[in-house]
Amino acid sequence: MPALVEDIRACRICADNPDKLPLPHDPRPVLQVSETARLCICGQAPGTRVHKSGRPFTDPSGDRLRDWMGIGEDIFYDPQKLAIIPMGFCFPGLDAKGGDLPPRPECRKAWHDDLFEALPQIELILVIGQYAQGYHLGKSRKKSLTETVAHWRDFWDECSSNNKPKVLPLPHPSWRNNAWIKKNPWFETDLLPVLKQEVARLV
């Protein structure tokens, strides 16, 4: 595992051998892993702030995610307790409207299967956004993000019966989802208490 992580941190695929256009900047893979963390967050890809800081979720979305999980930065940034493995390790750049581009597909092809195989101790994966849901839920994913998150108990039960890590789909903790959270009150009343309980058990 340490050699694999070293290779990821030195990765230049999207600069030197990309599927299509190269990254518009030097690669800077951002991830947090260890052989002990039983809890993992799998999100999309770093944005501009994280690209600069080199630390995942160093933004208001990170504050809200920590609040959802009921933990502070001390636990959140402890790799022995929490792994953070986005679907793209490097900031993918911005689109014409100034939004973040999708995670680079090269990343998933090159690294994710090997990395998750090297982390058999993980018991719970928090899956944020459509790319992470596509990877971790596969065909079980529903047609929309709302439907997928609303069926969280089904995925929970399915994983328990298969002896696989539990997978909990979440919306992105961005302020852009404030209206979604308001519209789906079950998220705060039903899902978040279970999330907090599981996080407390695992860290």
Give the interface with ligand SF4 as residue ranges (CB under 6 A): 8, 11-14, 27, 29, 88-90, 104, 106-107, 110
Please check whether residue 55 is in contact with residue 139, taking contact to mean a CB–CB distance below 8 angstroms.
Answer: no
Residue 71 or 119 with smaller CB distance to ligand SF4 = 119
Residue 11 or 124 with smaller CB distance to ligand SF4 = 11
Query: C-alpha 101: how far from its chain's center?
Result: 16
Q: What's the min distance (Å) between Cβ of 139 and ligand SF4?
A: 25
Phi-psi category of residue 2: left, alpha or beta, with phi > 0 → left and psi -120 to 50 → alpha: alpha
Closest-CA residue to 57 (of 30, 80, 25): 30
Residue 45 or 167 with smaller CB distance to ligand SF4 = 45
Residues 39 and 166: their CA atoms lie apart, in Å, by 10
Closest-CA residue to 196 (of 188, 63, 181): 188
Q: What's the min distance (Å) between Cβ of 49 and ligand SF4?
A: 17
Q: What's the min distance (Å) between Cβ of 33 and ligand SF4?
A: 13
Residue 101 or 202 with smaller CB distance to ligand SF4 = 101
